[in-house]
Amino acid sequence: MISGVRGRIVAKLPGIVLVDLHGLTLRVLTSQTTVSDIGDVGQQVELVTHLRVREDDISLFGFAVPEELQLFEVLLTVSGVGPRVALNILSSGRPDDVHRAIASEDVAALSRVPGIGKKTASRIILELRGKLPEATGGGMPALASIDAEVLEALQALGYSGAEARDALAHVERREGQSAEERIYATLQALSR
pLDDT digits (tens, 9 = 90+) for 83-134: 999 999 999 888 888 888 888 888 888 888 888 888 988 889 888 877 776 5
Decide: 10 and 29 in contact? Cβ < 8 Å.
Answer: no
Residue 143: per-residue pLDDT? 44
Q: In Å, what is the CA distance from 180 to each residue of 140, 184, 189?
A: 18, 6, 14
Q: Are residues 26 and 15 in the same domain?
A: yes
pLDDT < 50 regions, the chain: 135-143
Q: Which of 38, 64, 90 is the last residue of a domain?
A: 64
CA distances from 121 to 70, 78, 117, 127, 154 (A): 19, 10, 6, 10, 24
Same domain, 133 and 69: yes
Distances (CA, A) of 88 to 29, 65, 122, 188: 12, 17, 16, 38
Q: Which domain holds residue 23?
A: 4-64
Say how many domains are in the chain: 3
What CATH number is attached to the domain comprising 37? 2.40.50.140
- Confidence at residue 142, expressed as pLDDT on a 0 to 100 scale: 43
How many angstroms separate the most distant Cα atoms in the chain?
A: 64
Q: SS3 for 43?
A: coil
Residue 150 sits in the same domain as residue 177: yes
Give the end of a domain, one of 45, 64, 83: 64
The residue among 64, 96, 112 that closes a domain is 64
Predicted local confidence at residue 135, as pLDDT: 47
Query: Which residue, among 65, 67, 166, has the nearest Cα to 125 in the 3D structure?
Result: 166
How high is the pLDDT of residue 26?
A: 94
Q: What pLDDT sits at residue 25? A: 94
